Structure 1
Amino acid sequence: MAAAGEASGGRDKYRSFMYGEGEKDTVWRLGSPPNYDVVNKLFEEERTKEWPEGSLEEKVQRLLKTWEMELIHKVRPEDQKSVHSQKFCASTNGESYSLRSACTKLPPEHRIYDPDKETLESGMATFLTAFPRGFAIEVLDVYSGPPRIVFKFRHWGYMEGPFKEHPPHGKRVEFFGICIFHVDEEMKVEKTEYFYERGNFLASFLSTPAAAAAAAEAASGSGCPILVSDKKWRILLKEEGQELLGGWCEAIRIKLNQVRPHVLPA
């Protein structure tokens, strides 16, 4: 695995393949490399692990952050140096499918993310409005090294802005999970497998819409919007026979699946 900072030219502490001669022809989604200064600050202030440079854990964490950056911000698959452009696919909780179908199965009024109305850019803007400091990610443990890297991660941020009709509460929103990266001899990711509890993440930042809040409170006997919302969503999802795939990564993957079908095979 590449040493920390080796490919990045030292311009970002935690991600490779953003600057330097190797990126001179890269097509960036927003016209230039993203700036991670704000979320890096959140990461440094609140991470629970600080891995030594060059350790397996630090290298896996760098690969994770680089992989996420390249998938979201580099338009052309051939520019994504941490991703195998021909083989890459992903699964969540043991299922490999189009996340678009999982979201659009819900009635329009209950969709947290509607790919029929959102672009990747508008989805990013919506998320950054709700989480202006971004969503930090850290590797907590690494259980095995390449070619099948298994690790535990923590993903968190603060909801300091509105998320569509849901008001901000200023509290930390986070979730934990296990991820498996299948990599080739060049450390390019061929497949990712994510395992995490989705409902808790969803419930931690969604509140009931204002129009339904009073009725929901009366029906539940609880004044807590998160508890009300969680119960409401779980009933809806049970009736639909689907789990709602909440969170930023899920929204991004839905749109990526539209423009790059092999990312999430049906």
Structure 2
Amino acid sequence: MAAAGEEASGGRDKYRSFMYGEGEKDTVWRLGSPPNYDVVNKLFEEERTKEWPEGSLEEKVQRLLKTWEMELVHKVRPEDQKSVHSQKFCSSTNGMRFLNRKDLMAIGSYNAFLQTRLPPEHRIYDPDKETLESGMATFLTAFPRGFAIEVLDVYSGPPRIVDEEMKVEKAEFFYERGNFLASFLSAPAAAATEAASGSGCPVMGGN
């Protein structure tokens, strides 16, 4: 996520498309205006391991991924998303059922990304109990500087998940959900004390 505001970024973003210009004049933004990614872009530039040449396949895929994440989080209407195919798009995580644009917009991208088959009593974070708004609030608190997404490698090209206009048609994500959420549990003792008092990581709440 990112803060709203166009001025600080000079009316454009170095790593994302479909935020400004004539094509976005009718876009409905969740916070009322395009987001400002200055903070997360600075974090990305400080910590990235590779700097892909502009126009390279890796740079195009990285831009597409960052743009898609921005549109999922900040654009209210599915029809305003331009990084994905308007009719064919669907995605799944860790072999779960495929979701279309409306499905994702209804439950929120964070809840979709954390779908699980675990029994409710074993869930650190339960996406079935979260709304789009509560999921966004939780992860904005847990990651105050946002997600500095970096593409490390592209193993085929052009990617089969996109059409000739570089619009995503189908995407499947695979990652170790337990390891990701375990990072919330590995805080120092002081942070654990704060969590016990109700002021720690929001993902721990109620679990």
**TM-score scaled to structure 1, two decimals?**
0.56
Is the Cα contact below 8 Å between 2:2 and 2:40 reproduced in 1?
no
**Alignment CA distance shift 1:104-1:194 (3 Å):** closer
Q: In angstroms, what is the RMSD of aligned CA positions?
A: 7.1
Offset of 1:19 from its aligned partner?
A: 0.5
**Alignment CA distance shift 1:65-1:4 (3 Å):** farther
1:245 is aligned to 2:204: yes
| Aligned residues between the structures | 191
Is the Cα contact below 8 Å between 1:198 and 1:246 reproduced in 2?
no
After superposition, what is the alpha-carbon deviation per residue over 1:98-143, rounded to whole angstroms, capped at 9, x for unaligned? 9xx9868666665433456533222212212122111211001111
**Alignment CA distance shift 1:33-1:224 (3 Å):** closer
Offset of 1:15 from its aligned partner?
A: 0.1
Is the Cα contact below 8 Å between 2:17 and 2:63 reproduced in 1?
yes
Please, which runs of 5 or more residues in structure 1 have no aligned partner? 150-182, 226-243, 248-266
- The residue matched to 1:189 in structure 2 has which SS? coil
Offset of 1:58 from its aligned partner?
A: 0.7
Offset of 1:64 from its aligned partner?
A: 0.7
After superposition, what is the alpha-carbon deviation per residue over 1:208-237, rounded to whole angstroms, capped at 9, x for unaligned? 99xx99999999999999xxxxxxxxxxxx
Offset of 1:21 from its aligned partner?
A: 0.6
**Alignment CA distance shift 1:24-1:8 (3 Å):** farther
Partners of 1:128 and 1:36 lie apart in 2 by 13
Partners of 1:185 and 1:107 lie apart in 2 by 41
Please, which runs of 5 or more residues in structure 2 have no aligned partner? 96-108
User: Among residues 194, 198, 201, which one is paired with 1:221 in the alignment?
Assistant: 198
Is the Cα contact below 8 Å between 1:8 and 1:20 reproduced in 2?
no
Is the Cα contact below 8 Å between 1:38 and 1:133 reproduced in 2?
yes
After superposition, what is the alpha-carbon deviation per residue over 1:172-208, rounded to whole angstroms, capped at 9, x for unaligned? xxxxxxxxxxx11221111101122222222222259
The structure with the largest strand share of the pair is: 1
**Alignment CA distance shift 1:222-1:190 (3 Å):** closer
After superposition, what is the alpha-carbon deviation per residue over 1:66-111, rounded to whole angstroms, capped at 9, x for unaligned? 11111221121211111112211112234x999xx98686666654
**Alignment CA distance shift 1:144-1:103 (3 Å):** closer
**Alignment CA distance shift 1:184-1:207 (3 Å):** same
The answer for the alignment partner of 1:11 in structure 2 is 12
Greater alpha carbon shift after TM alignment, 119-128 vs 132-141: 119-128
Offset of 1:146 from its aligned partner?
A: 2.5
**TM-score scaled to structure 2, two decimals?**
0.70
**Alignment CA distance shift 1:91-1:22 (3 Å):** same
Is the Cα contact below 8 Å between 1:103 and 1:113 reproduced in 2?
no
Runs of 4+ with >3 A deviation: 1-10, 101-118, 212-225, 244-247
**Alignment CA distance shift 1:138-1:245 (3 Å):** farther
Offset of 1:26 from its aligned partner?
A: 0.3
After superposition, what is the alpha-carbon deviation per residue over 1:35-70, rounded to whole angstroms, capped at 9, x for unaligned? 111111110000001111111111110011011111
Is the Cα contact below 8 Å between 2:4 and 2:35 reproduced in 1?
no
Q: Percent identity at matched positions?
A: 93
Instruction: Indicate the structure whose relative CO is greater, using CA pairs within 8 Å and at least 6 residues apart.
Output: 2
Is the Cα contact below 8 Å between 1:202 and 1:246 reproduced in 2?
no
**Alignment CA distance shift 1:45-1:184 (3 Å):** same
Is the Cα contact below 8 Å between 1:184 and 1:190 reproduced in 2?
yes
**Alignment CA distance shift 1:140-1:3 (3 Å):** farther
Partners of 1:245 and 1:146 lie apart in 2 by 40
**Alignment CA distance shift 1:105-1:201 (3 Å):** closer
